[in-house]
Structure 1
Amino acid sequence: MTAVSAEQDLGPDFSSRLLASSETLSYDPIKEIDWEAPLPEEHYGLNPEWSTLYGTPLWDELTEQQRVTLTRHEVCSIMSTGIWFEMILQQMILRDQYVQDPAKSEFQFALTEIADECRHSIMFARICERMGVPAYFPSRTVVELARFFKSTATGEVAYGAGLVAEEVLDVMQRDWMRGENVLDIVRTSSKIHVVEESRHMSFAREEIREHMQSIGKVKRRFSALAIAVVAYVIVSSLVSPKVYKSVGLDPKRAVAAVNANEHRKSMMRNASAGLMEFLSEAGLLTRPAIALYRRVHMI
């Protein structure tokens, strides 16, 4: 999930390698996932350890079936947020590549990324439909502010936004794809997403490095804060408070339990470790940015 810059040319060799990787390491979710397979009642939507309530007294109060139901709604909330953000990134890619030379490998890889993201969004949508879980989206305020962001974000901010979303989800999905007690459709979709997004993340990191070489101190501080704001919004929006109603919980009580959940905080810090290391190396971990990352326990 990265935006491709029309102003920079990373070189035909780099883009050509990405295109070659797309040809050999791409999947068709319609064929790869067994959409007709039954969904065992005892299988979770994600590893219990990744549930927002895992490790809390409230989790201990839930029956096993309530835990299964909760994790299925949680994973679909994460997927719905993924669809929302992938649509933002697809629009940025199209905006950046508008009337660019279609013969260039950069242009062709940009469209390849869009094709990947379209398949991923459809895959996530069908999984939630298959589980009978409604769509969960960020608040209306966040949705509307994102309209402005997708129309203005460029360079390291656009790439950084995509990277923070993908890095955190990548760590989660690497666990889900190995979870023996996780639904097969989630395990298979996680494998597909991890494999195909790995080249998107590599591209984003390279773009960020290139852009950071030519920006001044003021722009660097602004970009660091902007990326941190995006990270804060994404992480805060992954699991909607509405999911707790699915198992008969009071959302306010559940959210309070999540906010006090030290296990959850530890999992988020671990999931963000690689991202924070890269942002630090790139010069994008300023004090204001770190303060925001701490608020969502990414540091």
Structure 2
Amino acid sequence: MASKTPDRQAGKHTLKDREEVAERLLEASLRHSIDPDRELDWDSPFEDGKWFWPPELISLYGTPLWQNMSEERRHRLARVEGAALASIGIWFEIVVMQLLLRHIYDKPVTSKHVRYALTEIADECRHSMMFARFLTKSGTPVYPVSPVTQNLTRIFKSTSNTACSLVFTLLCEEVIDWMQRVTFPDERVQPLVRGVTRVHVIEEARHVRYAREELRRQMDAAGRLELRVTRAVTGELARVFVRSFVNPEVYPDCGVNRRAALRQIRESEHRREVLRKGARRLTDFLEEVGAFDRRGRRLWREAGLL
């Protein structure tokens, strides 16, 4: 039964009742959950001349390397970057599922809050299978995160506090979500890619709401030490995210020099603007709930997210 405790103020902001938030999200899940295996047309061939990712979102767009590429090579880069994002998406979904399970481990098992977390885990399972099926269909390599990131994340997902877990979740969800919202209405893009991004956007909106409401609650209840830890980790997560966002192996796979590509991406104001736009709603929210300190802001600026 949902708690009848009224909403209470957390500084300037109102903390919503946890059970009431979960109940609304469960109702939305009933109305808007999608089975990608049934809803998407997996059998139709890819269309000649269509992009696998909007060109403006490709990491090298607007750089000297991009200007000197043939149109065929640009399309190849779009295809493998799309594969890299699907690969990191699977990695991310698996990490989030483990973080959610840790979060609800000692929560009341009959609560709506726990029930929604399990519903989200079911969503993430479908998303991971959808991305894997897309990778198989696209005929591209799988681009995992680096071994260093893989092992650091193994430690993080086993030891992080709830607030840090939620910051990680929101960082990965909201930047990619912004890119997918640009992608799915874009008629230049392959219909299957648009379908995959549409499914993900619809369902991730609920996940973002759940994570934001819970992060507000965690930050409001955190003691001084937990706040310091959360702010320190928030800063470091920006570097890990941007470094992992596109696997550098995509460049030699397209006949592009990796060092030159990485240097030009670092120097690209267009790329930094894309990342800033993708992170803008999140950075505003993290400022609002107090997840940044001075060092964290500096690290996010250096990463191109602020």
TM-score normalised by structure 2 residue count: 0.91
What residue is the counterpart of 2:157 in the other structure? Answer: 150
Separation (CA, whole Å) in 2 of partners of 1:71 and 1:185? 14
1:42 and 1:65 in contact (8 A); partners too = no
CA-atom RMSD in angstroms: 1.5
What residue is the counterpart of 1:133 in the other structure? Answer: 140
1:51 and 1:74 in contact (8 A); partners too = yes
Q: Determine if the alignment matches structure 1 residue 106 to structure 2 residue 130.
A: no
The 3-state SS of whatever aligns with 2:221 is: coil
What residue is the counterpart of 2:166 in the other structure? Answer: 159
Question: In the alignment, which of 66, 79, 84 is matched to residue 73 of structure 2?
Answer: 66
Separation (CA, whole Å) in 1 of partners of 2:117 and 2:225? 29
What residue is the counterpart of 1:4 in the other structure? Answer: none
More displaced 10-residue stretch of structure 1: 191-200 or 225-234? 225-234
Greater RCO (CA < 8 Å, at least 6 residues apart):
1
Aligned residue type for 2:42: W
Deviation at 1:99, TM superposition (A): 6.3
2:103 and 2:162 in contact (8 A); partners too = no
Question: In the alignment, which of 102, 122, 127 is matched to residue 95 of structure 1?
Answer: 102
The 3-state SS of whatever aligns with 1:241 is: coil
Aligned residue type for 2:76: T
2:81 and 2:250 in contact (8 A); partners too = yes
Aligned residue type for 1:64: E
Deviation at 1:214, TM superposition (A): 1.7
More displaced 10-residue stretch of structure 1: 158-167 or 224-233? 224-233
Q: Residues 222 and 115 (structure 1 numbering): CA distance in 2 closer, same or farther, change over 3 Å?
A: same
Q: Determine if the alignment matches structure 1 residue 283 to structure 2 residue 294.
A: no
1:83 and 1:121 in contact (8 A); partners too = yes
Question: In the alignment, which of 86, 91, 115 is matched to residue 84 of structure 1?
Answer: 91
Separation (CA, whole Å) in 1 of partners of 2:240 and 2:65? 25
What residue is the counterpart of 1:5 in the other structure? Answer: none
What residue is the counterpart of 1:45 in the other structure? Answer: 52
The 3-state SS of whatever aligns with 2:137 is: helix
Q: Determine if the alignment matches structure 1 residue 240 to structure 2 residue 247.
A: yes
**Percent identity among equivalent residues?**
37
Q: Determine if the alignment matches structure 1 residue 294 to structure 2 residue 301.
A: yes
Q: Determine if the alignment matches structure 1 residue 25 to structure 2 residue 18.
A: no
**Residues 254-295 of structure 1: per-residue CA shift (max 9 Å, x gap):** 111111111101111111111111011111121111111112
**Residues 157-188 of structure 1: per-residue CA shift (max 9 Å, x gap):** 11111011111011100011011111111111
2:22 and 2:112 in contact (8 A); partners too = yes
Q: Trace 1:190-209 onto structure 2 (pairs within 5 A).
A: 190-209=197-216
TM-score normalised by structure 1 residue count: 0.93
Q: Determine if the alignment matches structure 1 residue 230 to structure 2 residue 262.
A: no
Separation (CA, whole Å) in 1 of partners of 2:38 and 2:137? 15
What residue is the counterpart of 2:195 in the other structure? Answer: 188
Separation (CA, whole Å) in 2 of partners of 1:273 and 1:51? 19
What residue is the counterpart of 1:219 in the other structure? Answer: 226
Separation (CA, whole Å) in 2 of partners of 1:62 and 1:206? 45
Q: Determine if the alignment matches structure 1 residue 272 to structure 2 residue 279.
A: yes
Deviation at 1:221, TM superposition (A): 2.6
Question: In the alignment, which of 240, 247, 250 is matched to residue 257 of structure 2?
Answer: 250
The 3-state SS of whatever aligns with 1:15 is: helix
1:165 and 1:231 in contact (8 A); partners too = no
**Residues 79-119 of structure 1: per-residue CA shift (max 9 Å, x gap):** 11111111111112223333654322112111101100000
Deviation at 1:54, TM superposition (A): 0.4
What residue is the counterpart of 1:6 in the other structure? Answer: none
The 3-state SS of whatever aligns with 2:189 is: coil
Separation (CA, whole Å) in 2 of partners of 1:167 and 1:158? 14
